[in-house]
């Protein structure tokens, strides 16, 4: 979804996982072994946010709120959906612009939204419980706190739209299984994406912006 805005993807060729081993920057073990490396990695991701804008795909998702009750469930950790105007966004994998306690990462008391001038977190910057501030990101091996909320929305959906995901990362990839059988499903992706459920899916094989332009004509 955010690739067209210039944000590096994680899984595509040349993506972040080609440059940074997952184990080093996206696991609790990596953070325990080298917290400065992980802190610097997410500082870089935050600084990149200051240089990019929402793309037309983000804007068209937000514009759907004029016609529908829209909930965005995203695996992306950037804030581009919100900046484009979407008002109900569930971040499954955390939020890049937030930090939290290293000891109690999901305790709302310690989750803090950073202002742009605070985007560079340093070693020694602490949460209210005295622990080092860590990114408010769900790392591999950690529970996904918002998955139950996302499942509830999927079970109540009247239309289900999938944009730009490999459907390889669980538990998010399993959300389609909770969508009622009679609900129309649309998938926007420039690449072929295998649908394991055997479900009828209307595929729009385009990028996020061009795909959303086509979808908007179909729905509105």
The structure tokens 């609900």 sit at 183
Query: Is the C-alpha dihedral spanning 67, 3, 154, 212 positive or negative?
Result: positive
Angstrom distance (rounded) from CA 183 to CA 213: 21
| DSSP secondary structure string for all residues of 187-212 | EE-SS----TT----EEE-S-HHHHH
The structure tokens 């870089």 sit at 44
Burial class of residue 182 in the structure, from the number of CB atoms within 10 Å of its CB (0-12 exposed, 13-18 middle, 19+ buried) = exposed
Pick from 82, 142, 90, 79: nearest CA to 114: 79
Q: Which residues contact 114 (CB under 8 A, 6 or more apart)?
A: 46, 97, 98, 99, 121
> With contact defined as beta carbons under 8 Å apart, do 56 and 212 qualify?
yes
> With contact defined as beta carbons under 8 Å apart, do 8 and 18 qualify?
no
* Strands lying side by side in the sheet with 94-101: 112-113, 94-101, 133-137
Active site residue 93: yes
Q: Name the catalytic one among 58, 81, 91, 93.
A: 93
Q: Which residues are catalytic?
A: 93
């Amino acid at each position: 979804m955010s690739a067209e805005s210039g944000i590096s993807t994680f899984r595509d060729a040349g993506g972040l996982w080609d440059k940074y081993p997952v184990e080093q920057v996206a696991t609790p073990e990596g953070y325990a072994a080298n917290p400065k490396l992980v802190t610097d990695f997410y500082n870089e991701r935050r600084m990149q946010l200051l240089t990019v804008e929402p793309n037309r795909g983000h804007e068209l998702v937000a514009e759907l709120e004029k016609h529908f009750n829209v909930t965005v469930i995203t695996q992306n950790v950037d804030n581009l959906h919100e900046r484009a105007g979407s008002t109900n966004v569930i971040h499954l994998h955390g939020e890049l612009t937030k930090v939290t306690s290293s000891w109690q990462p999901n305790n709302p008391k310690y989750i803090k939204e950073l202002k742009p001038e605070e985007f560079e977190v340093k070693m020694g910057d602490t949460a209210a419980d005295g622990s080092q501030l860590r990114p408010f990101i769900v790392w591999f091996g950690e529970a996904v706190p918002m998955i139950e909320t996302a499942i509830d929305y999927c079970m109540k959906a009247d239309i289900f739209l999938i944009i730009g995901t490999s459907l390889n990362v669980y538990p998010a990839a399993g959300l389609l299984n909770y969508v009622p059988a009679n609900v129309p499903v649309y998938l926007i992706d420039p690449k072929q994406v295998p649908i394991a459920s055997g479900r009828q899916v209307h595929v729009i094989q385009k990028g996020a912006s061009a795909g959303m332009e086509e979808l908007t004509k179909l729905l509105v």
